[in-house]
Amino acid sequence: MPWSQSQRAGLTSFRSRPPWLVVVLSRWPAPGRCKRRLARSIHPVAAATIQSRLLVHVLSLTQPLVREGLAHRRLAVTGAGLKAWRRWLAPLGYSTRGTSLGRQGGGNLGCRMARQVRWGLARHYRGVVLLGSDCLGLETGDLRQALHLLSVGEKPLVLGPARDGGYWLMGQRCFDAGLFSDVPWGGPAVGDLTRKRACASGFQVHTLCSRTDVDRLEDLQPWLAVLNRNGITSELPAAIDLNSTYAVGRCTSAVDPGW
């Protein structure tokens, strides 16, 4: 996405300030621990492999922001201990300066997201961007745009709407518990409810492009070319027919998280 002169100026103006924090939330990419809705249509090992590639994809998109000093990156994880996650990340080179690793903690999705926002703001980051790890259509330009919009106004809130009614990104400079509590997570009303509550609380809501999260078999179909280009489908340990509602998967081997 081309940047205007004013957008570039906006980025330059806050580069010298405390960095933003981009929090990538992810489950452990192992069979039975992630992508359970997708695993009902394809083999659980294949679903876990897709999850691992999606996570690497999202992490790679945040790397330029870390390298340029625009943001620090935090990987908030669940499903395995931090030692296991560090072993998984080590071959990928993400245990470098500007990156931290932490647990999501307990509770529902709202509790876990709220915890990450409070963690970042308590450490005096200018703002916190929450980012899921299951969106293939995401681009680094989306993240740059989110940071730019967060730098505008007194109380901005940036949302990246998902086509299933949720959102794939949320960015904010101040914490509001009402955005995370009593929300029907996983349902089609999450995005609309969040926007209404944000407006009622005085946020200036900015919306990014709508994207599709990969949660079901039909979500994979538009991204088949992307999957092939990135070598994902060629490495799946199960036969997947994306034109069918049934996938034949007979592989019982586990995913090696440190490929």
Pairing of strands 156-161, 128-131: unpaired
Distance CA 221, CA 234 (A): 15
Q: What pLDDT, on the 0 to 100 scale, is given for residue 46?
A: 74
* pLDDT, position 214: 67
Token readout for 6 is 């004013």
Average pLDDT over residues 110-125: 96
79-97 mean pLDDT: 81
pLDDT at 198 over 60: yes
pLDDT of residue 205: 97
Residue 26's beta-bridge partner residues? 77
Place of tokens 């995401």: 138
Residue 181 binned pLDDT confidence (cut-offs 50, 70, 90): very high
- pLDDT at residue 98, rounded to an integer: 78
CA distance 12 to 4: 13
Give the mean pLDDT of 101-106.
94
155 close to 204: Cβ distance less than 8 angstroms:
yes
The pTM (predicted TM-score) of the whole model is 0.78
Using the predicted structure, report yes or no on whether residue 245 has a pLDDT greater than 70: no
pLDDT of residue 6: 47
The structure tokens listed for 88 are: 């998984």
What is the distance between the alpha carbons of residues 64 and 71, in angstroms, rounded to a whole number? 9
- The mean of the pLDDT values for the chain is 78
- Number of C-beta neighbours around residue 244 at 10 A: 10
Q: Domains of the chain (ranges plus CATH)? A: 17-235 (3.90.550.10)
Task: Give me the pLDDT at residue 92, please.
Answer: 78
Q: Using pLDDT thresholds of 50, 70 and 90, give the confidence band for residue 40.
A: low
- Specify the higher pLDDT residue, 47 or 128: 128
Q: pLDDT tens digit string along 61-83?
A: 999 999 999 999 999 998 889 99
Question: First CA to last CA across the chain, in angstroms?
Answer: 32
**Poorest-pLDDT segment among 36-45, 128-137, 180-189:** 36-45
Q: What is the pLDDT of residues 125-167, one digit of tens each?
A: 999 999 988 877 788 999 999 999 999 999 999 999 988 888 9
pLDDT number for residue 228: 60
Q: CA-CA distances (angstroms) from residue 207 to 10, 23, 121, 165, 211?
A: 18, 18, 22, 13, 11
pLDDT for res 135: 77
